[in-house]
Chains A and B, each alone.
Chain A
Amino acid sequence: MIGRRSFLITTLMSFGFAFLYIPILSLIVYSFNESRLVTVWAGFSTKWYGELFQNEQVLNAAKLSLEVAAINATGAVILGTLAGFALSRFRRFRGRTLLTGMTSAPLVMPEVITGLSMLLLFVAMEQAFGWPSGRGVTTITIAHITFSMAYVTVVIQSRLASLDVSLEEAAMDLGAKPWKVFMVITLPIIFPAILAGWLLAFTLSWDDLVITSFVSGPGSSTLPIVIFSKVRLGVSPDINALATIMVGIVAVGVVATGLYLQHQERRRERDVQAALASNG
């Protein structure tokens, strides 16, 4: 009996999952509603999807968001991997505590504070050096990299912490240069974590409204900024259609990544077992 779920726990757990999924399901169902009044059912229709794909403003914003999110994810993965590596492999260096603080504070820092401080920095820099001139894609990307690299650092750091250091040490003893050890041994092993970090940074950027609002300029409206200005005017069915498309893409992406990572994990376990068997 011990260690099994009780009826009460199962009920509470189902309630929790229902709470998580009913709003998302309601978004999807009402995206196929004929009526403009989002919550009054008036028959099945896909016309809001057609309307969405004719909305130039939404399409341009989506394109800009994709661009920023992809550049951001790549930059955040590079900086976040370096930071995660430094924190888990170099035990002592000057200012280690500060680096730890600067990589974990962005995880909880209220976005209005980060957004305001980044904007004031960009304005001060422009006054002092004339760069960045005005605000737009460059400033948005820099701001996004700064907060999303913290998440990548956590992912990489926890993966490296669970990794057996003896592999790297063995290669080092055999005379491999640190750079080569990283490229040939560490990088392939932590690749799933890097992929997860890239996707996480991409999503955070794609989704960010508050920080982006502070550091964006005229003509650089990302998708969340366009959605927010539409939503403030009330519910509208084409936003439901957009939400449904996004949920669909994410669901496929998360399931595919989950299966891929599970496959990698199984292969790794098989390899380890094969290695042990050949030794014995």
Chain B
Amino acid sequence: MRPVSAGRWAVISLPYLWLLLFFLVPFIIVFKISLSDIRLGMPPYQPMLQWVEAQVVNIQVNLGNYAFLLEDPLYRNAYLHSISTAAISTLLCLLIGYPMAYGIARTDKSWRNLLLMLVMLPFWTSFLLRVYAWIGILKNNGLINNLLMGMGLIDQPIVMLQTDFAVYIGIVYSYLPFMVLPLYATLEKQDITLLEAAADLGCHPVRAFLTITLPLSMPGVVAGSLLVFIPAVGEFVIPALLGGPDTLMIGKVLWNEFFQNRDWPVASAVAIAMLLLLVVPIMLFQLAQGRQAGGHP
């Protein structure tokens, strides 16, 4: 057996233990509480294990919260609506982000870093305030409506705030940098001589793009889409600020169960159900991450 140095052990175990305790164990607790009953008091859930007598433990497992999620159409609609909202926003993000990433990758080297910095800059400023900015732009007496009415194109303001449209805009706007950066990373690495060869052989640029550039950039497309889609499914701030009262999204439902109804067990069941929904996309993301990151055997 090889002696394991103390230093190596310390380097691995410190972050390891931290993540086990504060990232993994919490999920087990969430699962446990999703199986318990609500009660009045603090904390507002029944303990799972109760000592009935000196040596008898009463284990209570309650699947009622999950049954409740299945019965009430509110939750099903919220899940479906979250997925469709996240999917549409991801697609829009891709449509706006791809030309940007492509354009930056084809810009002179000296300008590329500046353009990349411009893509990143909004990400460094407050997410909350950038979503807030859209309230001023989209509301009935906001920037767009004032502009259109000032030009005489419309007499009645178009209702944009508190609609699904506003939520799409908010998600696309907030997550665009996460789409552009992985796309840029794959497009920048591409060998330009492949396109030259195609052109020499008489291939139309559009066809060259579809048969060469696009397939080669698929890793970036997948990574960027997952980086947008997964967090967008559970998004709370954007539907809370830009969506209407009937914009059902699962992040908002969880938030309300927890903060308004103070029903911790149902909130936990909502979280576990959301996690089950996202397990496959999260695994795909990890696979993509693993392939990209170096240092693998």
Interface residues of A (CB under 8 A from B): 1-6, 9-10, 12-13, 15-17, 19-24, 26-27, 30, 37-40, 79-80, 82-83, 85-93, 95, 99-113, 116-118, 120-121, 123-124, 127, 142-143, 145-146, 149, 153-154, 157-158, 160-162, 178-179, 203, 206-207, 209-210, 213-214, 224, 227-228, 231-232, 234-235, 239, 242-243, 246-247, 250-251, 253-255, 258, 262
Contact = CB atoms under 8 A, between A and B. Distances in A.
Given A107-B227, A110-B231, A3 B192 contact: yes
B43 A87 contact: no
B286 A101 contact: yes
B84 interface: no
Nearest to B281: A108
B239 to A, nearest CB: 11
Interface in B78-124: 96-97, 99-100, 102-104, 106-107, 113, 117-122, 124
Given A90-B8, A105-B286, A110-B235, A243 B30 contact: no
Contact of B15 (A80, A88, A232, A258): A80
Contact of B274 (A9, A20, A103, A110): A110
Contact of A99 (B16, B33, B233): B16
A102 B282 CA distance: 11
B43 A86 contact: no
A112 B255 contact: yes
A118 B22 contact: yes
A24 B294 CA distance: 36
A180 to B, nearest CB: 11
Contacts of B240: 232
Contact of A224 (B113, B126, B199, B233): B126
B103 A178 contact: no
Contact of A157 (B29, B119, B133, B294): B294
Interface string B227-261: 10011011111001100000000010011001100
Contact of B285 (A5, A26, A108, A209): A108
B132 A235 contact: yes
B1 interface: no
Interface in B182-241: 192, 195-196, 199, 205, 226-227, 230-231, 233-237, 240-241
A39 B107 contact: no
Contacts of B295: 87-89, 91, 157, 160-161
A82 B121 contact: no
Nearest to B234: A110
A117 B264 CA distance: 11
Contact of B19 (A16, A102, A203, A253): A102
Given A12-B103, A157-B293, A250-B124, A23 B12 contact: no
B129 interface: yes
Contacts of B100: 12-13, 16-17
B286 A112 contact: no
Nearest to B199: A2
A226 to B, nearest CB: 10
Contacts of B166: none
Contact of A239 (B18, B129, B278, B294): B129
B124 to A, nearest CB: 5
B11 A86 contact: yes
Contacts of A110: 230-231, 233-235, 251, 274, 278
Contact of A79 (B14, B127, B195, B205): B14
Contacts of B274: 110, 112-113
Contacts of B27: 117
B297 interface: yes
A27 B136 contact: yes
A117 B97 CA distance: 33
B271 interface: yes
